Amino acid sequence: MNNHLEAWIDWNLVLNEEGGPNHVGNYCDAPVIVDTKKDEVHYNSSYYYIGHFSKFIKPGAWRIGSQASNNRILATAFENINGETAAVLMNESVSKEEVSLSFRRESMMLVLAKHSIATIIIH
């Protein structure tokens, strides 16, 4: 989202346990996999992060500059049309990480759990 992305959609939101149906046989993954043999539904991590981003970054939001104080953290920030700022931080590492979040003249320290995504809303 920090590199000139205008829109994003996951083409296949729900597929079966084989990665289909598909008319040309190029099976793939999806946020939701339905196991038709076991009658089970599996929610992959992409299902949760699509929901996470869409819950806090509203239509019409503008991306604003952001950077993480810790190189193991990915960060992006958006200003929603209602004036609130949504900062999304992702910890890809295998351990909890401490980060500093600064906005205007305020700052705070956060501890992000391993393999986590967190959003901070600033009003």
pTM of the model: 0.78
CA dist 122 and 83 (Å) reads 9
Instruction: Check residue 71 and give its pLDDT.
Output: 81
Residues whose CB falls within 8 Å of the CB of residue 110, separated by 6 or more in sequence, listed in order:
89, 98, 99, 100, 101, 118, 120
How many percent of the chain have pLDDT more than 70? 94
In the predicted model, what is the mean pLDDT of residues 76-93? 95
Task: Give 32 or 52, the one with higher predicted confidence.
Answer: 32
Token pair listed for 22: 């598909």
Token pair listed for 98: 């401490």
Instruction: Check residue 16 and give its pLDDT.
Output: 95
Sorted by where each begins, the domain ranges of the chain are 6-43, 59-122
- Number of helices followed by number of strands (H, E) in the chain: 1, 9
